[in-house]
Amino acid sequence: MATANKNLSNYDKTTIPDASNFRFGIVVSEWNDTITEGLYKGAYNALIENGVDANNIIRWDVPGSFELIYGCKKMQEQMVNAVIAIGSVIQGETKHFDFVCEGVTQGIKDLNVTAETPVIFCVLTDNNMQQAIDRSGGKHGNKGTEAAIAAIKMAALRDNS
DSSP symbol at 17: P
Catalytic residue among 7, 18, 96, 127: 96
Q: What share of the chain is helix, strand, coil (3-state, %, to 5)?
A: 50, 20, 30
Reply yes or no on whether 140 is catalytic.
Answer: no
Q: Do 68 and 123 form a contact (C-beta atoms < 8 A)? A: yes
Residue 148: strand, helix, or coil: helix
Burial of 63 (0-12, 13-18, 19+ CB in 10 A): exposed
* Total residues belonging to the chain: 161
Is the Cβ–Cβ distance between 36 and 29 less than 8 Å? Answer: yes
What contacts 161, CB < 8 A, 6 or more positions away?
Answer: none
Residue type, 52: V
Q: Point out the residues that are catalytic.
A: 96
